Amino acid sequence: MSENQTHAIHLESAEKFWEMIAEWVVLVDFHAERCGPCKMVWPVLEEIAEEYAWRAKVVKVDVDSLGEISEQFWVRSIPTVIVFKNWEATWDPMVGAYPKEQYGDVLNSLLEDTSE
């Protein structure tokens, strides 16, 4: 999938991952194509990506193709969502499915911290 087909970004390189977390508040979905629960979470995260498009980014990291990133953050189960700000993981990993509002609450709390 390309960025033109979705509001979220499907990362294809570790370099792009590091660029993203340096510049944005980023909600990262660690997933795999083979994962049924991951496919159930994705529509919710796509809605978040659309709603927060100009304030934060939602990215997908496939643990099968970018395993070095998931290993660095101790991702052991999927789906796992980790939110980053200023290079750092800001919340405990969210493993499994959560309501849309909970993802939004996490992003809102971090975005409020960035206002001057």
Domains and CATH numbers, the chain: 3-105 (3.40.30.10)
Nearest 5°: the CA angle 80, 85, 91 is: 45
The chain-wide mean pLDDT, for the chain, equals: 87
Tokens of 105: 């609450």
pLDDT of residue 20: 86
**In the annotation, is 16 catalytic?**
no
In the set 9, 38, 49, 58, the catalytic residue is: 38
The pTM for the full model equals 0.86
Residues 85-103, mean pLDDT to the nearest whole number: 90
Active site residue 98: no
